[in-house]
Structure 1
Amino acid sequence: MSSVHIDIADDAAAAATDGFYSPAKQKAANRRPTVLTIQRARQTLCAAKVKLILAVLTFSFIIYVSSKLSSFMGWNPHYPSFVSSPSRGGYTVLINSWKQSSVLKQSVAHYASCRSVERIHVSWSGSEPPSEKLIARLNEIVVLKSEGAQKTDFIFEVISGDQLASRFRPKSYPNTDAIFSVDDNVIVPCPSLDFAFSVWQTAPLSMVGFVPRTHSVNKEQNNVAYYIYEGWWSVWWTGTYTMVLSKAAFFHRKYLDFYAHMSPSIQNYVANERSCEDIAMSLLVANVTGAPPVWVKGKIYEIGASSIGSLRGRSRLRNKCLNDLISHFGIMPLVPTNFKAVSAKNEWLW
């Protein structure tokens, strides 16, 4: 009688080899996708952890650099004694007006509607005094536009003579620390104006404004530095500026006193040379602080007709003003910068 030997292991191996059904083979095949899924999940989780750590480190680095940059840009909370508080309440809008009644009405109506404006002060320059009817109408406009909000004070100052520099003479009444100097034909939207005010509160020693300008140096004239006043296109091309014009800028009220106490030679020069008073203010603030101004990004609008002469003639005049004033100051105090304050509320792309 012959015996039959059945080798189960060999048969299972053969089945596995030959493609026949095997429970063990099927179980291993079912388990393999699950193992791969777990491994992939672990890899994804590790990658997410690495990204999170990198994001935290990047954010911390940005905060650190920002704090250092703020200090470098002069945004220092330890001010000199004459600025004991960043601002008392809101700000005063100091409007420089030049014989444009209709434009002045629009300007006053707009700034009276801005919520942080506590006072509107109009400096009327020109040989002809304004009519009583105009002043009464402006008072009505201020009351109407500020109705329901905090009452806005209104002051109308008539400046004798035809001197634009008189816009910066000291004001005898108690006013806010923050002064927003603006030409009567310049309109800054209220949200942009309030943002600029918040920027100024962090740097009340600086001029904070919407119209940047710069200068360049030409040393080819008798080996003496000759400075060129540069307009907006130079700022746009280089990304650098050294001034913000007082046609739309915040500064501390104390600079009105400082302006009045500049040397007689500077005051006489500014009084005799038209369109030099804003350059003189920029030089004064830079000379006091040793720091650059702050340019705030924001749209401004000009209304009415411009009284500025030809661009070529104005350019020569500005060059002359800049160089003559630097000679009177004895130094070049302007500091270049490429910093720009931008409201994050208006920027969707970081």
Structure 2
Amino acid sequence: MNLAALILCLSILSPLQCSLALNDPCEDPEIRRSPRDLRSDQITVLINGYSERRIPLIRSIAAAHSGSAVVSAVLVLWGNPSTPLDVINRLSRDLSSASFGPAAISVIPQSSTSLNSRFLPRREIKTRAVLVCDDDVEVDLRSVEFAFKIWASNPDRLIGLFARSHDLDLSRKEWIYTIHPDRYSIMLTKFMILSTEYLFKYSCEGGEAMARMRRLVDETQNCEDILMNFVVADETNAGPVLVGAEQARDHGDSRNEGEREEEVREVGLSTRRGEHRKRRGECITEFHRVLGRMPLRYSYGKVVNSVGEQGLCKKGGKLVFCDVQVGE
């Protein structure tokens, strides 16, 4: 590490932030371990955090994840360098004491606001898979564990709960970002499980083409999830896998009502839906242009934990699923 750069960094950032800013994880031999040295029976949760207004929600989400037997560790990646250090330290102490299980909760300040940091390889990751998720999405633990089970059967693919699609606008001859009712090709980082190896492919490989696409993510402050879908699809020639959740509470969805949800939405990146979709369509078009091919592939259907009762019966004067017990 250059001494002058270190002195300059320490004059404006904390030692931890300087370490993140000046050390290249792609060149750290202690980070890229053999899959044999990584746990396959557990997962590391990476929660992206930015706004102090979402801290109460982050506490709840991180604590819930820590209570799962399949979670090895929970890392809150704090992506707002302007947050006062005392706030980060207080959050770190609160989260450390909030864990519901053996999984430790840590706060890792990022050196910049770059969304590419969500996919940086890290020493703290000691599992073959990671769960990348937003700070405004709460998923029940049973669904988390089921999604991880599906990943274990499909370790080369992206697994998630929120899907979107790409499509070609023939009139304008450009790609668009959309939702199809019968197929999907993009898994969102609201909840995304993937192999740890893809963190290296995203952050450390791909040469100048990947570097240009990562720069576009920085310029737009968007589309890191789309780029990861490009990376994985290009590697596997297969689409992602959509999993059904029993409960997936998305506080950032613009269709929410209530004061708390409105406050959460205001600090989100996708509050302007029309502009957001247009920008993401432009990302798809540019990624295609830079890569020289379109790797995204459609998938169909959803994997569910239980088929459940399908017939309706009349009980207590109401039509309900036949396995539902209705009190007299």
Aligned to 2:140: 189
Confirm or deny: 8 A CA contact 1:297 1:342 kept in the other structure: yes
Residue 115 of structure 1 aligns with an amino acid whose one-letter code is A
Aligned to 1:248: 191
Confirm or deny: 8 A CA contact 1:86 1:201 kept in the other structure: no
Question: Within 5 A, what are the aligned runs for 1:307-346?
Answer: 307=268, 308-344=270-306
Aligned to 1:92: 44
Residue 229 of structure 1 aligns with an amino acid whose one-letter code is Y
Aligned to 1:287: 234
Mapped partners of 1:163, 1:218: distance in 2: 30
Aligned to 1:206: 157
Superposed displacement of residue 316, structure 1: 1.1
Aligned to 1:271: 218
Query: Does structure 1 residue 300 correspond to structure 2 residue 248?
Result: yes
Superposed displacement of residue 230, structure 1: 0.4
Confirm or deny: 8 A CA contact 1:123 1:167 kept in the other structure: yes
Confirm or deny: 8 A CA contact 1:87 1:201 kept in the other structure: no
Larger radius of gyration: 1
Partner-residue secondary structure (3-state), 2:127: coil
Partner-residue secondary structure (3-state), 1:280: helix
**How has the CA–CA distance of structure 1 residues 255 and 315 changed in structure 2, closer, same or farther, with 3 Å as cutoff?**
same
Partner-residue secondary structure (3-state), 2:59: helix
**How has the CA–CA distance of structure 1 residues 349 and 106 changed in structure 2, closer, same or farther, with 3 Å as cutoff?**
same
Superposed displacement of residue 87, structure 1: 5.6
Superposed displacement of residue 174, structure 1: 4.6
Confirm or deny: 8 A CA contact 1:83 1:204 kept in the other structure: no
Query: Does structure 1 residue 172 correspond to structure 2 residue 134?
Result: no
Identify which of 136, 159, 173 aligns with 2:93. 136
Mapped partners of 1:138, 1:274: distance in 2: 27
Question: Within 5 A, what are the aligned runs for 1:28-43?
Answer: none
Superposed displacement of residue 337, structure 1: 1.8
Mapped partners of 2:163, 2:37: distance in 1: 26
Confirm or deny: 8 A CA contact 1:86 1:204 kept in the other structure: no
Deviations 1:155-178 (A, max 9, x none): 321012221221111112351111
Partner-residue secondary structure (3-state), 1:177: strand
Deviations 1:241-292 (A, max 9, x none): 1111122011000111111123221121112111211110111110111111
Q: What is the TM-score with the length of structure 2 in the denominator? A: 0.73
Mapped partners of 2:118, 2:290: distance in 1: 21
Deviations 1:114-136 (A, max 9, x none): 22111101110113234311110
Superposed displacement of residue 208, structure 1: 0.5
Mapped partners of 1:134, 1:85: distance in 2: 31
More helix by share: 1
| 4+ residue runs over 3 A deviation | 82-87
**How has the CA–CA distance of structure 1 residues 227 and 210 changed in structure 2, closer, same or farther, with 3 Å as cutoff?**
same
Partner-residue secondary structure (3-state), 2:109: strand
Aligned to 1:46: none
Q: What is the TM-score with the length of structure 1 in the denominator? A: 0.69
Residue 188 of structure 2 aligns with an amino acid whose one-letter code is L
Mapped partners of 1:270, 1:180: distance in 2: 20
Deviations 1:289-338 (A, max 9, x none): 11111000113102341213311111111111111111122111011121
Partner-residue secondary structure (3-state), 2:171: strand
Aligned to 2:170: 219
Give unpaired runs (5+ residues) of structure 2. Answer: 1-33, 252-260, 312-328
Mapped partners of 1:293, 1:86: distance in 2: 23
**How has the CA–CA distance of structure 1 residues 192 and 174 changed in structure 2, closer, same or farther, with 3 Å as cutoff?**
closer
CA RMSD of aligned residues (A): 2.0
Mapped partners of 1:153, 1:272: distance in 2: 34
Task: Percent identity, please.
Answer: 24
Mapped partners of 2:56, 2:77: distance in 1: 15
Mapped partners of 1:201, 1:320: distance in 2: 33
**How has the CA–CA distance of structure 1 residues 174 and 189 changed in structure 2, closer, same or farther, with 3 Å as cutoff?**
closer
Mapped partners of 2:124, 2:280: distance in 1: 33
Aligned to 1:59: none
Partner-residue secondary structure (3-state), 2:68: coil
Aligned to 2:74: 120
Mapped partners of 1:192, 1:318: distance in 2: 28
Question: Within 5 A, what are the aligned runs for 1:11-90?
Answer: 88-90=40-42
Query: Does structure 1 residue 348 correspond to structure 2 residue 299?
Result: no
Superposed displacement of residue 220, structure 1: 2.8
Superposed displacement of residue 108, structure 1: 1.0
Mapped partners of 1:172, 1:112: distance in 2: 19
Deviations 1:68-115 (A, max 9, x none): xxxxxxxxxxxxxx8669962211111011212112111112111222
Mapped partners of 1:98, 1:272: distance in 2: 18
Aligned to 1:102: 56
Confirm or deny: 8 A CA contact 1:95 1:122 kept in the other structure: yes
Deviations 1:11-47 (A, max 9, x none): xxxxxxxxxxxxxxxxxxxxxxxxxxxxxxxxxxxxx
